Amino acid sequence: MSTSSSSSSQNGRKSTASAESSTAVARSQKSQEDIEDGQDRQFGASNRAPFSNYERFMAWWDPWRVTDGRYDKFESFDLESFPNGYPRLAGLMDSDINTRLYRRFGLVRNRLLLHKQDQIAELAEKLANIDKEDERTHPERLSCRRYDEELGDESQRSHILQSLDLALKEYDALLLREHAITSIPRPTTRNHRAIFDWVYNNKPLVRDEYEYLYNERDFLLLGNQQDDWLRSFQERIWSLSHIPFFKRIMSSKSQTSDSYSTYTSNEKANLIIKLFLAFAMTTLLMLPVVLLYVLLFSIGVKLAVLLLFVFAFSMALLLMTNAKRHEAFAATAAYAAVLVVFLANLPVAPVQ
């Protein structure tokens, strides 16, 4: 009995060890498959090989392209998903960098500055009167600060200086805040009208709480904006979005049921601006070279062409960028030098 029991026990251990070994092998194979699958997903591999020419081209063009649907649940912007009221207005203002308009409260800020300024002026006048009085009656108080402070409550000068210190701290804080606020650009008329028209048409707020939009000159536009000229040009591009052709080109993935509103893509508008700038820069650099080389005019006409394009280059530099004066001067001088060197190496046309 004991031998049979021992044998069966050994067989049981062998079968248990065999089962554990099979489980370990299966687990190892599963882990290896998970690792390979994770690597495939990391490098954007699909579950099947591309079979069409388009898929083969896209796999060659963009090997990191993901086709396993991992991005399908990403949320797109939908303004109507926000509750009507302040949440929807906040969603609209957060949807684009050109819609973040907020009140500046310039009148109130300057009123506070004037109020604090007059307080300091009044304290300074009191201090001057005390100094004149002590100069006439107690000149030693003006010569020894320690003696003046030892008088305690009898010395009004110490109390006034403490009040001046506190008032100046508050005044300086107001000045620095006002300086920081004034450095924030103002919105253009189109920016303000876009927000106002949306609020006026959709009425997300009660009338008393959206009347702040009537203060057109008292707004700030947050965010890093384009240069002034480019911002105006970009807004003119956006204004073309009501035309069906431009609407198809510039349409955004975000849509709305509001018939008064149209969503345009900032990326597409910026692409149009970049194409325009590329064309303008190429024209300003190459057109004068072509004209000077092709036109068989006298040297006086060629100099006139050179001066015309140098002037056009400097105006484009000043209007289309935020270049400083010395930077614009240096760039214009370099541009003119290139054209002058090219003109000097051209053959002179014979005088008729």
pLDDT, position 102:
94
SS3 content of the chain, % helix, strand, coil (to 5): 70, 0, 25
With a cut of 70, list the residues of the chain below it in pLDDT: 1-52, 66-67, 147-155, 224-269, 347-352
Question: Would you state the pLDDT for residue 295?
Answer: 75
pTM over 0.85? The answer is no
Region of 85 (left: φ > 0; alpha: ψ -120 to 50; beta: rest) is left
Give the C-alpha separation, 310 to 326, whole Å.
16
Predicted confidence at residue 246, as pLDDT, reads: 60
| Residue-level pLDDT at 301 | 82
| 8 Å CB contact between 289 and 342 | yes
pLDDT of residue 298: 77
Structure tokens at 116: 């604090």
Rounded Cα–Cα distance for residues 199 and 92 (Å)? 10
Residue 211 is predicted with a pLDDT of 93
pLDDT at 170 (0 to 100):
96
The pLDDT value recorded for residue 257 is 56
